[in-house]
Amino acid sequence: MVRRNLFLISSSKVHGHEYLQHSREALTEFFRKHNVTKVLFIPYALFNYDKYTKKVGDVLTSWGFEVEGIHRKDDPVEAVRKADAIYVGGGNSFLLLKLLHERKLIEPIRERIFSGEAVYVGSSAGTNVATVSIKTTNDMPIVYPPTFDALALVPFNINPHYLDPLPGSTHHGETRQQRIEEFHHLNAIPVLGLREGTYLHVEDDKMTLLGDFNARLFMKSKTPVEVPPNSDMSFLLRE
């Protein structure tokens, strides 16, 4: 058994909901179950750390949880080692991954999560970096990270904000599915397309899809499969 408690959100903004509110019930329950009262927030995927931490902090505080930004800590590695909950916010995956590597946070986060001492919440780019690599991000490569390898808290990749082809579109850029198929020309691991409004709950070796929509699962050389909410997806955790 691999110990880990993860809550991986496709996007913090969902059509028809205020910021983060679509996952309020499930995320609150997740924190309470693991006796979380204080959350360490990692805002590295955006540029204004104070503003970003306040935005997420205001929501989580209203739900009864305390939030601290890692950028306010003298020793970020030590902050990770003491955290009960690590929340990695969305933004640019390349920027986020670069800073996690440069600040030597990859291994400390992995250790803290795999020991079961802290839970992990990721949203969008924060969900990308929880997987094997950021090779299935939608973001623009605005900075060059030392590697595309990420936290590998799960043994597959996720495409957050997964988007179906727009009916009647006259645009000729690749569809999301075409891009993921390109990934599979060169990489073998599964890719889970997480539509906005969906999230994954991982408890050790058990994984469940939650939220309002199907996910779309891409396996190399196979036809993609639609997976409905509340499906047990633990098979993706077996390496």
Q: Minimum distance from CB of 137 to its own copies (Å)? A: 7
Q: Minimum distance from CB of 216 to its own copies (Å)? A: 15
Among residues 16 and 228, whose Cβ is nearest to its own copies? 16
Q: Residue 71: helix, strand or coil by DSSP? A: helix
Beta strand 206-211 with 191-195 is unpaired
Q: Minimum distance from CB of 88 to its own copies (Å)? A: 17
Chain residues in the site for its own copies (CB under 8 A)? 11, 13-16, 47, 91-92, 94-95, 134-144, 147-148, 161, 163, 166, 170-174, 179-180, 182-183, 185-187, 196
161, 169, 212, 221: which is the annotated catalytic residue? Answer: 161
**Minimal CA–CA distance to 96: which of 45, 31, 27, 156?**
45
Handedness of CA 226, 175, 132, 151 (dihedral sign): negative
Among residues 112 and 135, whose Cβ is nearest to its own copies? 135
Helices 106-114, 93-102: axis angle to 10 degrees equals: 90
| Residues 177 and 224: beta-carbon distance below 8 Å | yes
Q: Minimum distance from CB of 75 to its own copies (Å)? A: 25
Among residues 66 and 174, whose Cβ is nearest to its own copies? 174
Among residues 106 and 237, whose Cβ is nearest to its own copies? 106
* Residue 197: both structure tokens together: 């409004």
* Residue 88: both structure tokens together: 């990695």
Q: Is 161 a catalytic residue?
A: yes
Q: What positions carry a catalytic annotation?
A: 124, 139, 161
